[in-house]
A = this chain, B = another copy of it.
Amino acid sequence: MSLSLNQWTTRRWSLPEAVDGCARHGLEAVGLWREKVAETGLARSAKLVREAGLRVSSLCRGGFLTAGGLPGEEGRRAFAEALEDNRRAVDEAAELGAACLVMVVGGLPGVRPGEPLPAGFSRDVAGARERVAEALASLAPYAGERGVKLALEPLHPVYCPDRAVLSTLGQALDLALPYPEEQVGVVVDTFHVWWDPALHEQIARAGRRIASYQVCDYLHPLPADVLLGRGMMGDGVIDFPPITRAVAAAGYIGDVEVEIFNADVWAADPDEVVATMKERYAGVVTVPAAPFTVT
């Protein structure tokens, strides 16, 4: 396994800056975001990472497939638009040569990420999960034909209302296993799954289905905006080595992406963030942390 910078960790950097930064810090891989790729242009982005000799460990992100659970024409239109957008994301992942397209499947129909509950949203979480399965049946073969692997990401249950009704690794595997391994895999993101009592059993069950291993810490208490509760490894509650060992034992040989959404990290000098990330990766992710790391 080798360290990869998910570019949202250094979000002040443009894609060219992130590519330069990876080279400067001796990283072999980068995780890209569609917004950043769009800013730079798809063809130019692909050229830049190729010329820098970087692997693209993932493209973030496809998904948001659940709005089809809204009633009538609104639901049908939302579902069609989501599929269309996801096909574009697959095309982008193919052109970038990304190891996978990360799928954040979406929350309750009608609820937008980070926003208050709107009028007319749906409480039907089971139905929303069925919409995800339906969308996958359409997208998996499309991705497979283009050599792209969809990576289903279970998100911490605190994000179930607005970001992902996919809440556990076991649930992600239930969705992924009917498809060929090269079409659909799963993401193991320590932030989202560290608490899961079935984690080790499900990592073993996942085996080669693990398409991406992402690490960052889980801060406690969470900040008011729970999206920003991701911290530098060592700053939170996660005991990384047992998870890292389990992922390795399952046969994962891909890159380890560090993806941090955190106001302080974003405010810091990106070069310092990358330096800290390398240090913490070596000191915390692969060997036990001190009882508590002062930050």
Contacts and interface: CB of A to CB of B under 8 A. Distances in A.
Contact of A116 (B117, B165, B221): B221
Interface stretch (A8-16, A53-61, A234-242, A250-258): A234-242
A64 interface: no
Contacts of A239: 123-125
A117 B160 contact: no
Secondary structure call for the A interface: loop
Interface residues of A, number: 45
A111 interface: yes
A168 B199 CA distance: 12
Interface stretch (A41-49, A96-104, A178-186, A189-197): A189-197
A286 B273 CA distance: 51
A290 to B, nearest CB: 10
Contact of A125 (B167, B168, B195, B221): B195
Contact of A292 (B120, B126, B237): B120
B171 A197 contact: yes
Interface in A84-140: 108, 111, 114, 116-126, 129
A220 B157 contact: no
A259 interface: no
Given A194-B125, A291-B120, A161 B108 contact: no
A209 interface: no
A226 interface: yes
A162 interface: yes
A263 interface: no
Interface string A155-181: 011101110010110110000000000
Contact of A196 (B114, B158, B167): B167
Nearest to A71: B291
A158 B161 contact: no
Interface in A209-238: 218, 220-222, 224, 226, 236-238
A204 interface: no
A291 B222 contact: no
27 contacts: A108-B237, A117-B220, A119-B291, A119-B292, A120-B292, A121-B237, A121-B292, A122-B291, A123-B239, A123-B289, A124-B239, A125-B194, A125-B195, A156-B157, A157-B195, A157-B196, A158-B158, A158-B222, A158-B226, A161-B218, A161-B220, A162-B220, A162-B221, A167-B196, A170-B198, A171-B197, A226-B226
